[in-house]
Amino acid sequence: MELVTGGAGFIGSHLVDVLVAQGKSVRVFDNLSSGREEFLAHHGDSVEIIQADLLNYDDVKAAMAGIETVHHLAANPDIRLGTEVTDTDLRQGTIATYNVLEAMRVSGVKRISFASSSAIYGEADVMPTPETYGPVKPISLYGASKLSSEALISAWCGTFGAKSWLHRFANIVGSRGTHGVIFDFIHKLKADPTRLEVLGDGRQEKSYMSAEDCVRAMVHLVDGVDEDVNLYNLGTGDTCSVRRIAEIVVEESGFENVSIEYTGGKRGWAGDVPKTSLDVEYLFSTGFVPSMQSEAAIRYTARALIDEIGL
Amino acid sequence: MELVTGGAGFIGSHLVDVLVAQGKSVRVFDNLSSGREEFLAHHGDSVEIIQADLLNYDDVKAAMAGIETVHHLAANPDIRLGTEVTDTDLRQGTIATYNVLEAMRVSGVKRISFASSSAIYGEADVMPTPETYGPVKPISLYGASKLSSEALISAWCGTFGAKSWLHRFANIVGSRGTHGVIFDFIHKLKADPTRLEVLGDGRQEKSYMSAEDCVRAMVHLVDGVDEDVNLYNLGTGDTCSVRRIAEIVVEESGFENVSIEYTGGKRGWAGDVPKTSLDVEYLFSTGFVPSMQSEAAIRYTARALIDEIGL
């Protein structure tokens, strides 16, 4: 059986879809703080859902019974929150990961696939940024918690003998999104269809990947590569600017004469990385091919979220 | 005023000596779990000592009054402990660092110098290992907590505006040692002068640096380099084997016909890195010159600890 933490969330629920399609039994562990049961409703009773918090160690330990691989995706999804509340990422990121690892250790569970992030690179001076880039200097508390979780997982593998897959995600977009720039833009347009405020100068430029491609890549790696610690960037190999995302969302909204306004400055907020570009040659070398590039993933996401949110 | 966490400890007390010699006012924050007040006794009342624990946030916050630079050295010094107790490094490393950073933020303290470790590199496949090596995969829980602390400090600098100096220490040896291989060997010889048991095959080989050189390098960097995040390996540029350390300690003990016995295996314990060699060209490029190479630092330490412990 597979355990998916955050399995009712945005990316987690897509991963559950793929695992179920593979014929796997799936147990979801989610506190439903940003995840939603409706994202899993189409599976009926075939997916077990434990509504609990990773900070309650006893619940985490109980969830390990009969598990072969833990897919650890639960985390605070709101990177910006760290600028105001400083212990969220420490608790829901680093300490939650510790609880997962400790529960695995005492239960004899030996495989963990982890949703890390390109946020760990901070403002890298090599672009596209390969996995071998160092030293990594995250500039957000979210990025710090992802790097801390990678470190804990690596140490658990080295000390107690376990296998891990660390996936450093590009910006992941898609249906069931509960946060992020496209989600924000749609909500802003819904509130006022005449104007769209963009945080920063709009020239922030990042790698985007569809959630479907992302979870397909995760499973591809877990099934296909077999070092003790398997660490890969997950992305599409290209980038898209926030300015272009704003244009695409406006196009897909169908609203006319929307005034796109920029708050200015190179960052959307303190801790926002203005430009990220992931080197994904290592992923591609395993035979994985994404179905959509960044701009296609964004347009598809804009359509899906407009459909979900309604304008 | 300067705040030194772990200032009554092995390396911390040497740092206090250097800061006092520079004419700085010094406040020490130490829970005296491995530190000792006698290591600071020669300073009399000129050094303020707060006996408190970094896990008590209110105490940490109170200690920030009037501080210009925090020198954060407090941590669990026993790397091996992580193989048996898994939350020590998380608490005394990562969470303690979070408390230091949060107390700095709310108090407006903007400079932190941090004792990181070569343990973050795990089993690097590039030796000597430069700061640019990546991805780093620590294999000990101690190494994970040091990488997590680096990540938190980097994120605090990026999000809230602060300056940091991250020092990735080689194995630091010297007087006032309270743990480590030389300390262990002397205690073993004291218990039984006829034989010396060495964990592993003795071919573990690491970079060593004297505590005096280490703290001199720390102060040299804090005073001399000025990026937002200044990250340096601290070491001597050479290595010494555990086998050679055993021979040196036996020589300095004066005991004759000691049988040196190896438990075998390439590691001393799970999470022990068999070979570390730090590339220190970046440190040397700043003009720093260590006074002792690895073997000289070990012989000097053996003499000092035999003197302190008594045989």
Here the CATH number for the domain that contains residue B161 is 3.40.50.720
Q: Which residues of A touch B156 (CB under 8 A)?
A: 141
pLDDT of residue A102: 98
pLDDT tier, B214 (very low <50, low <70, confident <90, very high otherwise): very high
Range list of H helices, B65-209: 88-89, 96-107, 141-156, 181-191
pLDDT of residue B218: 98
Q: Is A102 on the interface with B (CB under 8 A)?
A: yes
Closest chain A residue to B138, measured at CA: A155
Q: What's the whole-number mean pLDDT along residues B76-98?
A: 94
Q: What's the whole-number mean pLDDT along residues B145-157?
A: 98
Contact A298, A227 (CB under 8 A): no
Q: Alpha carbon of A231 to those of A31, A225, B125, B200: distances in Å?
A: 27, 10, 15, 29
Among B83, B148, B150, B278, most A C-beta atoms within 10 A, so best to mutate, is B148
Q: Per the domain annotation, does A283 fall within a domain? A: no
Residue A270 has pLDDT above 90, yes or no: no
pLDDT of residue A294: 96
Per cent of chain A over pLDDT 90 is 92
Residue B235 has pLDDT above 80, yes or no: yes
pLDDT of residue B73: 98
Residue B201 to chain A, least CA–CA distance (Å): 18
Residue B2 has pLDDT above 90, yes or no: yes
Cα-Cα-Cα-Cα torsion A167, A170, A171, A174, nearest 10 degrees, comes to -70
pLDDT tier, A178 (very low <50, low <70, confident <90, very high otherwise): confident
pLDDT of residue B273: 85
Q: Per the domain annotation, does B244 fall within a domain? A: yes
With a CB-CB cutoff of 8 Å, which residues 45-84 of chain A face chain B? 82-83
Which ipTM score applies to this complex?
Answer: 0.95
pLDDT tier, A104 (very low <50, low <70, confident <90, very high otherwise): very high
Q: What's the whole-number mean pLDDT along residues B285-291?
A: 98
pLDDT tier, B23 (very low <50, low <70, confident <90, very high otherwise): very high
pLDDT of residue B79: 87
Do B20 and B145 lie in one domain? The reply is yes
CA angle B109, B111, B114 (to 5 degrees): 125
A228-237, B24-33, B171-180: least confident range:
B171-180
Q: Per the domain annotation, does A284 fall within a domain? A: no
Among B159, B163, B168, B266, most A C-beta atoms within 10 A, so best to mutate, is B159
Q: What's the whole-number mean pLDDT along residues B289-300?
A: 97
Do B31 and B148 lie in one domain? The reply is yes
Residue in the structure block whose two tokens are 């941090």: B114
pLDDT of residue A164: 98
Do A61 and A73 lie in one domain? The reply is yes
Tally helices (H) and strands (E) across chain B.
10, 13
Write down the mean pLDDT value for chain B. Answer: 96
Q: Which residues of A touch B143 (CB under 8 A)?
A: 151, 155
* Tokens (6 digits) for B35: 């530190």
Task: Provide CB contacts within 8 A for B240, sequence distance 6+.
Answer: B205, B206, B208, B294, B295, B298
Active site residues of B: 142
Residue A22 has pLDDT above 80, yes or no: yes
pLDDT tier, A179 (very low <50, low <70, confident <90, very high otherwise): confident
Over the stretch B255-267, which tens digit does the pLDDT of each residue have?
999 999 999 998 8
Residue A232 bears catalytic tag? no
Bond before B128 cis per omega within 30 degrees? yes
Do A301 and A227 lie in one domain? The reply is no
What total of structural domains would you count in chain B?
2
Q: Alpha carbon of B248 to those of A177, B258, B265, B299: distances in Å?
A: 62, 12, 22, 6
Do A213 and A299 lie in one domain? The reply is no
Do A185 and A224 lie in one domain? The reply is no
Q: What's the whole-number mean pLDDT along residues A175-183?
A: 90
Q: Is A257 exposed, middle or buried (0-12, 13-18, 19+ CB in 10 A)?
A: exposed
Do A224 and A298 lie in one domain? The reply is no
Q: Alpha carbon of B305 to those of A127, B153, B198, B256: distances in Å?
A: 49, 34, 18, 19
Which residue range forms the structural domain that includes residue A94?
2-172+209-234
Q: Per the domain annotation, does A190 fall within a domain? A: yes
Q: B160: how many CB neighbours lie within 10 A of its CB? A: 18
Q: Is B144 on the interface with A (CB under 8 A)?
A: yes
Contact A207, A235 (CB under 8 A): yes
Do B68 and B189 lie in one domain? The reply is no
Residue B261 to chain A, least CA–CA distance (Å): 24
- CATH number of the domain that residue A192 is part of: 3.90.25.10
Q: Which residues of A touch B138 (CB under 8 A)?
A: 151, 154-155, 158
Q: Is A140 on the interface with B (CB under 8 A)?
A: yes
With a CB-CB cutoff of 8 Å, which residues 230-249 of chain A face chain B? 231
Q: Per the domain annotation, does A133 fall within a domain? A: yes
pLDDT of residue A79: 87
pLDDT tier, B172 (very low <50, low <70, confident <90, very high otherwise): very high
Q: Is beta strand B69-72 parallel, antiparallel or unpaired with respect to B205-206?
A: unpaired
pLDDT of residue B269: 82
Catalytic residue among A98, A121, A142, A300: A142
Q: Per the domain annotation, does B260 fall within a domain? A: yes
* Tokens (6 digits) for B172: 């630091």
pLDDT of residue B107: 98
Do A77 and A147 lie in one domain? The reply is yes
pLDDT tier, B284 (very low <50, low <70, confident <90, very high otherwise): very high
Q: What's the whole-number mean pLDDT along residues B82-101?
A: 96
Do A144 and A104 lie in one domain? The reply is yes
Q: Per the domain annotation, does A107 fall within a domain? A: yes
Q: Which residues of B touch A83 (CB under 8 A)?
A: 159
Q: What's the whole-number mean pLDDT along residues B266-270?
A: 84
Do A75 and A139 lie in one domain? The reply is yes
Q: Per the domain annotation, does B281 fall within a domain? A: no
pLDDT of residue B93: 98
Interchain pair A151, B95: CB under 8 A: no
Residue B179 has pLDDT above 90, yes or no: no
Q: Which residues of A touch B102 (CB under 8 A)?
A: 86-87
Q: Is B94 on the interface with A (CB under 8 A)?
A: yes
Residue A230 has pLDDT above 90, yes or no: yes
Do A220 and A259 lie in one domain? The reply is no
